[in-house]
């Protein structure tokens, strides 16, 4: 069933305009009595029936509400040192499918890409759109947001607002470190937040690691193979899903 994120449900009715109106009427060519799945900002999910098609709006009537959630029980924010090319698009699309709560990018010392504030605004708009589409497709009840911070210091400034800060560190993998992530997942309780930080193609610089350790970031390895900058966040999210959603007795 097609899924739409809406602003509100009033008296068991929801009115949709704009891009989603266009999608429902022109792309999906829905007719009266067709059903969709609606998701409200407070993460409620409802099945609704199309009851009115206007010139620039459609109206739905709620027929049932769903109780189950498709959200990861822990809130994971993926922070990526600006990578090259369209890798942030892949991270955002796949990371949304895999349950990320939000995304963040920052200029790392070894980032080759540079974003001025104008470019950042345009990119963030595009990444927000990718997250919305992926959230609909993967049956999320939250659309992850994307934020770009303009300096490494700004990343350090927001970090303490998370319950846990981790940094994926290739050297940990090389040293054979193989339990920090599992130990962390054992400690984190449902509802808590994790900021997971990943370097750009050349990795994070040693001085960046030192600054992250100063704000209590935990270095974790992601197995013995060297993962690309866009693969590591997907590993992290899949491991979290396995640990928190499938291996509950582990």
Binding positions for its own copies, rule: CB under 8 A: 68-71, 94, 97-99, 137-140, 176, 178-179, 181-182, 185, 221-228, 231, 234-235, 238-239, 241-243, 245-250
d(CA 161, CA 125): 24
Taking the complex as a whole, the smallest distance from the CB of residue 127 to its own copies amounts, in Å, to 17
**DSSP helix/strand/coil, 102:** strand
Taking the complex as a whole, the smallest distance from the CB of residue 176 to its own copies amounts, in Å, to 7
**Rounded to the nearest 5 degrees, what angle is found at the Cα of 222, between the Cα atoms of 216 and 225?**
140
* Residue whose CB is less far from its own copies, 55 or 67: 67
Q: Which of 181, 191, 246, 250 is closest to 220 using CA atoms?
A: 181
Taking the complex as a whole, the smallest distance from the CB of residue 105 to its own copies amounts, in Å, to 20
* Residue whose CB is less far from its own copies, 27 or 242: 242
Taking the complex as a whole, the smallest distance from the CB of residue 124 to its own copies amounts, in Å, to 23
Tokens 């620039």 -> residue: 56
| 123 neighbors 130 (Cβ within 8 angstroms) | no
Q: How many CB atoms lie within 10 A of CB 239?
A: 18
| 3 neighbors 141 (Cβ within 8 angstroms) | no
* Residue whose CB is less far from its own copies, 93 or 111: 93
Taking the complex as a whole, the smallest distance from the CB of residue 9 to its own copies amounts, in Å, to 22
* Residue whose CB is less far from its own copies, 196 or 243: 243
* Residue whose CB is less far from its own copies, 99 or 107: 99
| 115 neighbors 82 (Cβ within 8 angstroms) | yes
């Amino acid at each position: 069933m097609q899924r739409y994120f809406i602003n509100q449900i009033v008296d068991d009715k929801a009115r949709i305009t704009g891009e989603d109106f266009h999608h429902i009427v022109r792309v999906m060519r829905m007719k009266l009595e067709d059903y969709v799945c609606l998701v409200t900002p407070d993460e409620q999910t409802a099945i609704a029936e199309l009851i009115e098609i206007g010139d620039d709006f459609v109206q739905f009537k709620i027929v049932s509400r769903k109780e189950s959630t498709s959200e990861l029980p822990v809130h994971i924010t993926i922070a990526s040192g600006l990578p090259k090319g369209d890798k942030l698009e892949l991270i955002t699309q796949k990371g949304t499918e895999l349950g990320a709560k939000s995304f963040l990018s920052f200029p790392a010392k070894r980032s080759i890409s540079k974003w001025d504030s104008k470019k950042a605004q345009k990119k963030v708009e595009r990444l927000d759109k990718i997250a919305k589409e992926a959230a609909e497709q993967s049956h999320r009840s939250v659309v992850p947001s994307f934020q770009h911070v303009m300096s490494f210091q700004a990343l350090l400034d927001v970090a303490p607002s998370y319950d846990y800060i981790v940094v994926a560190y290739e050297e940990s993998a090389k040293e054979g470190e193989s339990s920090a992530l599992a130990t962390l997942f054992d400690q984190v309780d449902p509802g808590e937040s994790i900021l997971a930080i990943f370097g750009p193609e050349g990795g994070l610089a040693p001085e960046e690691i030192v600054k992250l350790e100063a704000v209590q970031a935990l270095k974790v390895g992601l197995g013995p193979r060297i993962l690309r900058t866009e693969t590591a966040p997907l590993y992290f999210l899949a491991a979290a899903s396995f640990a928190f959603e499938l291996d509950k007795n582990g």
